[in-house]
Amino acid sequence: MKITIAQLDYHIGNFEGNTAKMITAIKNAKEAGSDIICFSELSTCGYPPRDFLEFEDFLSLSDNCLQLLCSHAKDIAIVVGAPSHNKDPKGKNLFNSAYFLADGEVKFVQHKTLLPTYDVFDEYRYFEPAKSWEIVTYKDKKIALTVCEDIWDVGTDDPLYTIIPLDKMQKYSPDFIINISASPFNYGHAKTRIDTVRANVNRYGIPMFYINHCGAQTELLFDGGSIVMSANGVLYDELPYFEECIRHFQLSEVIKGEKNNEQPKVKIALIHDALIMGVKDYFRKLGFTKAILGLSGGIDSAVTAVLAARALGNENVRVLLMPSQFSTGHSVDDAMALVHKLGLKHDIIPIKDMYDSFITKLSPVFSDAPFNVTEENIQARIRGILNMALSNKFGNILLNTTNKSEMAVGYGTLYGDLCGGLSVIGDVYKTEVYELARYINKDEEIIPLNSIIKAPSAELRPDQKDSDSLPEYEILDPILYQYVEKRQGPQDIIDMGYDPTLVRRILRLVNINEFKRHQTSPVLRVSPKAFGMGRRMPIVGKYLN
């Protein structure tokens, strides 16, 4: 038996495009002589469809997609994910299902059992869990169909569920497992995914074909990395990251378990490639082509500019330099060096006169109040207005350049430097931004060295440095990581050896700035816990405030 994995990039709600893409893959598989082609979870409609699932028209279009695929399920079987209707009046109206199409019709449907409701997942909002578990037989092979989370409770010391679907299927003695998934990327997930697939294979002693999405759905990034695991626990093949791929496998060769093809997993390289894919897909799927961002000469905007240029093409990235009276000469020089290196379209609009005009108009109201964060924010908001003016006039989507460290502690101005349609590095700590810059420069100097080595500064007052208001990032970022990603409380972090006063101050800053994060653009998710849909905190709360 020959099995094809189709690792594709779907577009939520684009039924025509998704179906056409799958039909092309089916033709490819037929030409290769495959018996089965496998697509991923909810591939008819894209993942996650969220509240689109509450529209009957949306569901009808998905059903039409299935009927069209059935017409191509001749001389080949098709495994495809789609929502299905729950005919039982009790429970949710829908299942998240794996369909097995053959001989021009639906031969078998297995519903998803384990419905994740944590971090970025909210499946129990829409779906009813499976209540029965069977297998499908095709060409004398017994196949266990599972959907994503159904395999993730195996091999863990802290199970989330009381049922393991594959345990229920073992009484039928399946020959192999097919798992269709939509498993989002984070920089450590690829290894965890392999460990999980291997734990299942070791538990049941049969091969597994694991098919994952690739591509970006706004903030959620899917890296692909689909897996074929032999019964002996050998990783027979791992498909490439961040790209579509169609690959064919002889079951008999997989059973032998002699091949071992694993992709490299270098954290900063994965983050780099994920962010480029995220920007590219955000623009492509929304029908945009051109980006704009404020370029300051600092490392954050420099890294964002490079990532945008690599995603969209240098010719589609415009940058705006907006020096003030507080900007240093080398900041403009560093920004211009990057402009020339990348060949970016650029404009320079000094903001001193605009700032002075604001201060003049406000001075009767401000009276003799001293210079403080108010004047700093006015500068940031002038820059936000200028960026948005060019965005509106020329149709360039504004990219936000705020990093995760700044976003965590509120070191940014609403309606100013926090403006943007997409936050590119909002899930990348400042220390990781430096790693990204060095990675970008690994073959040649693209980001000017001075942008990397100089002390970070917002340049909103004379001789300002980030360290005037914040701890050094080498101290700040590990504390933020323990609180945000690891969900460690203040005493837990203090017990790690950090200064108690500093820890409480940092955690308080995170909590009191929740209101800012609720008003910012979507953040491309590359870590296990990003700001946005996967981290739900109250704006008004007393904890640590």
Per annotation, catalytic residue among 41, 149, 375, 432: 41
Cis before residue 48, ω within 30 degrees of 0?
Answer: yes
| DSSP designation for 528 | S
| Cα(417)–Cα(451) distance, integer angstroms | 18
Question: Which residues are paired to 78 by β-bridges?
Answer: 37, 101
Per annotation, catalytic residue among 38, 45, 65, 148: 148
- For Cα atoms 457, 337, 474, give the angle at the middle one, nearest 5 degrees: 35
Question: Which residues are paired to 144 by β-bridges?
Answer: 177
| DSSP designation for 111 | E
Side chain identity at 157, as an amino acid letter? D
| Cα(536)–Cα(214) distance, integer angstroms | 25
Residue 4, CA distances (Å) to 1, 29, 106 in order: 10, 6, 19
Q: Which class for 441: exposed (0-12), middle (13-18), buried (19 or more C-beta within 10 A)?
A: middle
- Active site annotation includes 41: yes
Phi-psi region of 349 (alpha: psi -120 to 50; beta: other; left: phi over 0): beta
The DSSP secondary structure of 276-333, one letter per residue, reads HHHHHHHHHHHT---EEEE--SSHHHHHHHHHHHHHH-GGGEEEEE---TT--HHHHH
| Cα(329)–Cα(350) distance, integer angstroms | 12
Task: Identify whether the C-beta of residue 152 lies closer than 8 Å to the C-beta of residue 158.
Answer: no
Residues 6+ apart with CB under 8 A from 284: none
- Active site annotation includes 45: no
Q: Are strands 345-348 and 397-400 parallel, antiparallel or unpaired?
A: unpaired
| Cα(82)–Cα(111) distance, integer angstroms | 10
Per annotation, catalytic residue among 21, 45, 112, 419: 112
Task: Identify whether the C-beta of residue 313 lies closer than 8 Å to the C-beta of residue 278.
Answer: no
**Residue 325, φ and ψ in degrees, nearest 5:** -65, -15
- Active site annotation includes 474: no
**Residue 523, φ and ψ in degrees, nearest 5:** -105, 125
| Residues annotated as catalytic (active site), given as ranges | 41, 112, 148
